[in-house]
Chain A
Amino acid sequence: MSLLQIREVSKRFGGLAALTDVSYSVNQGEIVGLIGPNGAGKTTLFNVVNGFYPPTKGEVLFKGEKISHLKPHQICGLGIGRTFQVVKPLRRMTVLDNVVASAFLRAKGKAEAEDIAFEALRFTGLYEDRNVLSKGLPLGSRKKLEIARALATRPELLLLDESFAGLNPSEQNELIDIIRKVKGKGITIMVIEHHMKVIMSLSDRVVVLNYGEKIAEGTPKEIGSNSLVIEAYLGEEEGA
């Protein structure tokens, strides 16, 4: 059964069409990669799913129910967590408090919220840094903090917006392991990524956007050999 259905979603900002009739669905338990050149509308699509923008046209369904008129906090309450491309740590809070604040969504009291937070921190390997103010964290840990915070809301669907950008190869591998573990917990994931290596090794399916339109959808292998995609996006990289 498909967990998330995006139906003919369009989003316009004034005269600019950021998304045009994008439709696809995400099935329970899979990792779907969302790729496309800069400005293709990937983050805009996340913002529509997550509730920051209402779609101009079309609708988004989560577990069969329409969510595209809801506010971000309500959508989060229904079970969609997200991370941000430009990380948004709560700077003057410790790493632990960042995650506790998030964990209160599902917790009855502070003790339970802390338990959930500890679990999320151990899971993402941030437990040792828990008492550091989050503005003092290096980028790699900030990206993990985004994930820990999203996990603490106990999501069924996790939206990862370029969690790998700016990481060195060893940090990337670490994060790939974390994401595989998240999948192992039965959480469905939609991930925006530029690193082809990451997207090809993680994704079960890949959706390609270009100028706000979906130009291809399929397994990583199919996408790698799709001529439209190569023309729009992979281009030179194909020979490499």
Chain B
Amino acid sequence: MNMDTNYLQISNALKQDREKLIASFDDFPVIEFMRRHSRILDTYFQQSFEESLVGPRLGLNKNPYAIIALGGYGRGEQCVHSDVDILFLFKKRIPKEAVSLIQEIIYPLWDIGLEVGYATRTLNECIDLARQDYEILTPILDARFICGMSILFSELMSATRDKILNRRSKKIVAWLVKSNTERHLHFGDSTYLLEPNLKEGQGGLRDYHTMLWIGRIMLNIRQARDLEYFGYLSHDEYLAVTEALSFIWGVRNKLHLATGRKVDQLYFENQIKLAKSMNFSTANGLQPVEKFLGTLHSKMDYMKQRHLVFLNEHGFVYKPRARRKRKIASAYDNIVIANDMLEFSSSEDILKSPEQLIHIFEESARLKLPLTTQAKRMVAEFSYLVDERFRTSNSVVNSFEFILREPAPAFNVLREMLNTGFLVRMIPELKGIVNRIQYDQYHLYPVDKHLLRTVQTIKNFGSDRDDSGCILCANIWKGLKNRKLLLWAALLHDIGKGVPEKGHSRRGADIGRGILARFGYNTADIDTIAFLIQEHLLLVKIATRRDIHDEETAIHCARIIKKISRLQMLYLLTVADSTSTGPNAWNDWTATLLRDLFLKISNILQKGELATQQAVKTSAHKKEVVLASASSKSEATELEKLFQYMSPRYLLYMPDHEILNDIKLFRRLDDRAFVWDVNGGKAANSRTVRICAQDQPGLFSKIAGTFTLNGIDILNGQIFTWRNNLALDIFHVKPPPDRLFEKDRWQRAEKDLHKALAGDLDLAKALADKVKGYGSIRPKASKLPHNIVVDNHSSSFFTIIEVFTYDFPGLLFTVTDALFKSGLDIWVAKISTNVDQVVDVFYVRDFDGQKVDSEDQAAAIKTAIEERLPEIV
């Protein structure tokens, strides 16, 4: 048998042993599996070393060498597809035959698909490199002798200790803590991410490695258990750490098995499978995968907390810059400051005055200091003291409100309250959402963490930690009066998700009402908060599913929201909710839509008229009256359809009997260009003309021109537009001068208008002679100049043009014709004459339906009207 076949046998044996072990993965605790896995590898190295052809030629006694396991393999924690880290260590120099040795030992491993990382170094090289680069040092901290000259391994260990660890322990620990912190920033906090990194994320295996390495450096410990013996962990904590680690290791190995490769990020695609293979089942409305992630998060959260406490308690915290010494004191006698941390002065005291439990968090928020581990333990243990009387006590409510409102840039006090279980005691309704995962690509955080993030995001608006990118939000937040209402809504907005049924917003509002009543809020405040909870999805839904460039959309929202202050809060809540949900729920595109909608609703609410309760009532009442007039069911259906066409403005301003008149006119219209109805009788000195016409650009000026041409003076008028492209105009006019032939005059006017609309009559030309006579006008009272205002601010949907001038024959034609020739369509108009003073208001858009909001355009419109107005003498 030649040597090659020997090697083949050894590596085949390894392959088979691994396959057998992996097949029986579920038969052992995961720690035992990893140990066995390491042992199988050890056997391979020992046997191939024995069988080596090159080995004997290297002269073990002249230039001793050893094969050493590093990193996870060194610790005996070899996961299914983790790298196998190996060091070939030589005493004095690396012989050229070393290449062949590596070929003999390493290549077969690659051939059977193992990932092997190896290094070939002399003792001195090894120490030099580890001294310069701590990334090389840390795997050596976990080194374990496999075969070869064992004394060499001992030399490596003592040289590492003497030449590196003993000389610069503090520096190395500081580096470890710092690089771990940076790693967390890069990989994120695994305790709530939905695709957590099992190794590198916060709460991941690296946190455990860091604790172990610090123990090795500072105390020269060999095993993790020593951390307990040295008092770094209590016995219970050691057991809990082991349990948490086992779970994370279990997930990691299962993940390797599921993907067939080394992977530490728990991607979505693997989660359902893993949850199943880890025997999670459906319960309490939670899917197995939701329970699985919830458990994983809580285990990783435990690792994270242990790691932070470990660093904190033993003074290993990495401080980027020296903290300035402040003179600070707690406002409460029974809460003291020790080493920049808060703790209770005595535990028996808590029994006597349980309010300390919230006071310590209040002080934490006020002084920006964390609680000691001991203090947190005590809060957790004494939380049972939080009962109904505690919750409703005035001073407790005040403390809670203070914590809720106080900015907490560096660390989140509410988060600590949640972690210690205190928050859930304080608001028991939160219980159903703690660690509740929503399994989709959209929600990145469990509900409870999401709620706290939303609160935090709002408090950060406008600060240097604001990552919403919303300048408008910062401005609104700065000027917001009753901030606590918004923060309450943020804290509770998803509380309805405790039950896995639809309608969490409405349910949440009800639950919220109960909580807030217990906290002693007045009805008005409760209404506002409940409103915000119930409608927290309104703006997003409308912005993405309705036409926000339609005024009615904004009016619809304005009528639901009712008050500008509510709109402001709702907008901030919407932005904070979306940004705290995850990157898929928020981007620049959605932000633009949402902001645009906010500004449009805000405009409607600021002007008021269309969105008041009164407006809603009036419009509804008119609808009822009009519907009551229906003589049959089919007529009622037709009326309902017509309501769809009527704009909110029309319904608000038009009296109900006139709406009925318009409906009659509309029925007469059919396919005619227009129909009208002249009212007033012979005696009165004014007539009302109602016109119903197919809308077309310039319609208004043609009507006005026709009147002037026939000597009919316009006193005032209003025009509205229905959504089915129908114009409804009402004019009050002076009857024609010659009363005897009034009927003929109206008929002639009607003919003229038909011609004008058909394009067969050039009104401007026909009127030219008539208007020429009035070269200038002489106001009766004061001589104010003409004033034309182009307003683009008051409405998001129309440019509003106001013309202040003096009456003269043909005025309305002149102005509206100027508007038509400037390319503008009149949607709403109000014409009023007071003695000889005229105020005309036009809501216009260009023929494409857009506002004319560039300054050039506004100036051009002003000039176009001014040029046509006569001189004032």
Asked if chains A and B come from one complex, the reply is no
Chain A: residues with CB nearer than 8 A to chain B? Answer: none
Chain B: residues with CB nearer than 8 A to chain A? Answer: none
